[in-house]
Structure formats: structure tokens, C-alpha cells
Structure 1
Amino acid sequence: MNNCEYCNISFENQKIILENKHCFYLQLINPEIEGSGIIIPKEHRETVFDLTEEEWLSTYELMKEAKKEIDKIHKPDGYNVGWNCGSVGGQHIFHSHLHVIPRYVDETYAGKGIRNWIKSPDNKRVGKKEITHE
């Protein structure tokens, strides 16, 4: 993809920490959360659902390596790991990327998981039709 940010990495504000045959693990130079990063396939894939089996396995292998590296350097108290898929799912760059986010006990939102906001009373669908399973 000619205009894809992750197909054309500039490395102005991110660096490759680890890589394998199919994927890179990148970290921002000035991360919002110490040690956070993303795993991206080297080939353009819009979402996690588009990964090949080899890319999926390479992502998994790199995730384990990234955790070891983050644990050694930053010693987090926990992790959030996940993908955003599609604009409604929060994806802003349409090249699959797995967020690996170390979490720390002294954060304001420590203990809040990735589903916390989904369960909020403010996040109710308007006009939702009931679904019945027969």
C-alpha cells in the first residue's frame, strides 16, 4: 500500500526492537506508557483477520519475545494485549497491529481491563434490536 504508514515506516518516532521472518515489534521513542509497542506484519494486512497462518504464528512468537524484553527492562505489573479492527473498533491505521501494553500499579486506571469502557452505562446502543437464538 503506497500510503500505509506501517508499510512505509519513517522511524522518526519509532524503532524496531525485535523482528522475525514475517513481523516487526516496534516501540515509540517517547511512549505514553513505558515499554508499550506494536507487532505488525511486514506485508500489508488490513486487520488481524487477514493474517496468514505463518504471520499469525510469527506474531505469537514475537509477542512472547517482546514480553521477555519488556519484563527485563520495565518490570510491569500486568499487560493489555489486543487488536483494534475497523474504524468502529478503534483502528486508525489500517495495517494490522497488535498492541502490547505493559501496565503499572501506579497508573490512574490500573486494574481497568480493555473491556472496562464497553461495560460502562454510557456505552449503550440506541435502538438496538433484540437478537434471539433459536
Structure 2
Amino acid sequence: MRSARYAQRILRSGKAFAPIVVPIESTPMTSYAIGGSAVRMYREIVSGAVLLVDVHNHEPTGYQCPFCFLLDGGETPLDGPRDIVLRTPLATAFTASRWWPNNRGHVLVIPNAHHENLYDLPPEYGYAVHDVVREIAIAMRATYNCDGVSTRQHNEPDGGQDVWHYHVHVFPRYRDDNLYGSQPLPDMATADARWHYAERLRNHLESPTVT
């Protein structure tokens, strides 16, 4: 199916790569494997010129996306509707179940449509995710008594991605917390533990603006 989009693409021209912003139409043409990565090739029609753009994906055939399941109202021991902190028309934030020792209560922000990674994320969803990340960071700073906030975003297995739905991690940071030198806790956070942080964030986000 062809869909009109407005996006930034890395367009191949000989041996050079030039990022440009143009109105485009994309039609999936074929796919192939390279280095363990499924690569979708798109036929891009840009100002009358036909170009090929590669998008690297690793989602297996028949993948049951846990984030899409959550967005549809599903519940598992790892997450459920009560974990959702903020939902907008295009993006959703919820408390994560995998915690780091000194950074508990971190949040994931995802697009409401299924897009695997940064490479194939439409701009409108990228903007929406960014706006929600900002809201969560502000709420986290106000309610967690933290000293700062960090974000992470991973693409492909070698980039640290393990769920095939684009997502951004938002971490509360504390002085000398050693986030980047530590490993996640061995057990996933319980629902009650997650909800404790979710309630803090929701209450802040739903409170009237102080003038």
C-alpha cells in the first residue's frame, strides 16, 4: 500500500549519503537479509525521481508485540493499563518493569502505532514521543526527588534493542548513581512497586497548573 509521508531520508547517491527533507511516497518493494538484519527496500518517489531506501528490521514473522498489546488494553505481570502515566493521540508513557538498582521507577515512551525503530519512525510520531518524553522528565524531576534525568533509545540488537517497537527510556538520575556502570536488577518490578511511581507521575501531570 502506498502512503504519502513527509520525512527525512538518507538518500543514496553513488558512494555519498546526503540527508534531505522532501515530500515522498513510499511503496514497500521487497525485503532481504543482510548481517542478520531484515532489510526492507522502499521505492521512493521524490520529486519525480525513483530512489531506493533501506530500512533495517529484526522483528520476526508473526511477532506478538507486547507494547501494542498494552496499548490495546492488555495486561501481563510486566505491565498493564495502571502502568500508563500519560497517553496522547500519538504517544504513550508507562512505568517500566525492568529497573536499575539506583534508578527505580523509570518510564518508557512509545508511539501508539507499531514502528520498530528510529529508522522507520514517521516524523509525526517522533515529535509526539519527544513531547511526551519532555512531560515525563519534568514530572519525574518534580516528584522523584532526583538530581537529573537521562534518556536512552536503542536500535537493532547490537544497539541494545530487545523489543521490536520503538521506545525511549526516561531515567531518574541521582548523584553518583552509576547508572551506566550497573546492571538491571535480576527480578522485574512488581505491579505494586510500579504503580507507586505511576501514581506520583499521574498526580503531577493531572494537577492544575500553578500560576
Regarding TM over 0.5, the answer is yes
Unaligned runs of 5+ in 1: 114-134
Match of 1:36 among 83, 106, 118: 106
Higher helix content, 1 or 2: 2
Deviation digits for residues 80-114 of structure 1, max 9, x if unmatched? 2121100011101010001111111152x16x59x
Aligned equivalent of 2:139: 69
TM superposition shift of 1:30: 7.5
- Aligned-residue identity in percent: 24
8 Å CA contact 1:35, 1:70 repeated in 2:
no
Q: In 2, Cα distance between the equivalents of 1:7 and 1:21?
A: 14
Query: Does residue 83 of structure 2 align to residue 22 of structure 1?
Result: no
Shift in alpha-carbon separation, 1:56–1:30, aligned structure 2, 3 A? closer
Across the aligned residues of Structure 1 and Structure 2, the Cα RMSD in angstroms comes to 2.2
Of the two, which has the highest radius of gyration? 2
Q: Matched residue pairs, number?
A: 111
Match of 1:8 among 63, 69, 80: 69
- SS of the residue corresponding to residue 18 of structure 1 reads strand
8 Å CA contact 1:78, 1:103 repeated in 2:
yes
TM superposition shift of 1:49: 2.0
Q: In 2, Cα distance between the equivalents of 1:28 and 1:82?
A: 13
TM superposition shift of 1:69: 1.3
Deviation digits for residues 23-73 of structure 1, max 9, x if unmatched? 110103674323311101111100022211110111111011101211121
8 Å CA contact 1:77, 1:103 repeated in 2:
yes
Q: Which amino acid aligns with 1:100?
A: V
Q: Which amino acid aligns with 2:94?
A: L
Q: In 2, Cα distance between the equivalents of 1:34 and 1:75?
A: 12
Query: Does residue 166 of structure 2 align to residue 105 of structure 1?
Result: no
Output aligned runs, 1:56-95, within 5 Å: 56-95=126-165
TM-score normalised to the size of structure 2?
Answer: 0.48
8 Å CA contact 1:34, 1:74 repeated in 2:
no
Unaligned runs of 5+ in 2: 1-61, 182-211
Q: Which has the higher contact order (CA 8 A, sep 6+)?
A: 1
